[in-house]
Chain A
Amino acid sequence: QVQLVQSGAEVKKPGASVKVSCKASGYTFTSYYMHWVRQAPGQGLEWMGIINPSGGSTSYAQKFQGRVTMTRDTSTSTVYMELSSLRSEDTAVYYCAREGARPPGYYYYYYYMDVWGKGTTVTVSS
């Protein structure tokens, strides 16, 4: 079955970086884009960006430009999200989410997210 397995919880100090992994299984890794979405405690969902596992191209939300880096390793079917210069406001659950298959003639910028990881809790505290 299709699965996204994320790495475990992290506790970081302000100014540090965190790298979260998301290992895909049950489908062809390079055929589906992957998004990262975060959710601060008690808050809504916030899109961070997208990576194309096939070629590695990325697009980031403006808010995270310069602080986020998304990469992939096709040999292990894993995508990574690294966030630097952490501050307390970055305390959140970070999700990876597979994008649905784009149909022929597709013309939107992106698509919906059909499979989600369970999330990785990142706590930023001094």
Chain B
Amino acid sequence: AIQLTQSPSSLSASVGDRVTITCRASQGISSALAWYQQKPGKAPKLLIYDASSLESGVPSRFSGSGSGTDFTLTISSLQPEDFATYYCQQFNSYAITFGQGTRLEIK
């Protein structure tokens, strides 16, 4: 199965900061990558699909880029509601896999 490695595993940042989370695939997956946000006790929420397409209703401060094996999720200016855990997910193999998650905390 394709492994996804996110970095960092956790991150402390302040409101207004620009934040980048990286997701690396163990083999090429073209643009078959999505990003999700999850808050404690809640279901994941889709942010980005096809590596760089913004899901309807998601604020434009979220953006995604990359293809092949290296991908990034960027939050241009952190808002209080953005503190959560973020997961990448690939869907270009016989088995869907998720990254281990990146916990974004308030500094």
Q: A residues touching B (Cβ–Cβ < 8 Å)?
A: 35, 37, 44-47, 59, 61-62, 95, 97, 100, 108-114, 116-119
Contact = CB atoms under 8 A, between A and B. Distances in A.
Contact of B45 (A47, A100, A116): A116
Interface of B: 1, 30, 32, 34, 36, 38, 42-46, 49-50, 55, 87, 89, 91-101
Smallest CB-CB A-B distances: 10 pairs: A112-B34, A116-B43, A112-B49, A47-B96, A110-B91, A45-B98, A108-B32, A108-B92, A44-B101, A114-B46
A52 to B, nearest CB: 15
Nearest to B48: A112
B49 A47 contact: no
B46 A118 contact: no
A101 to B, nearest CB: 11
Contacts of B32: 108-109
Given A95-B43, A118-B43, A110 B87 contact: no
Nearest to B30: A108
Contact of B91 (A45, A108, A117, A118): A108
18 contacts: A37-B44, A44-B99, A45-B38, A47-B95, A59-B94, A97-B43, A100-B49, A109-B91, A110-B91, A111-B91, A112-B46, A112-B50, A112-B91, A114-B46, A114-B55, A116-B45, A117-B43, A118-B43
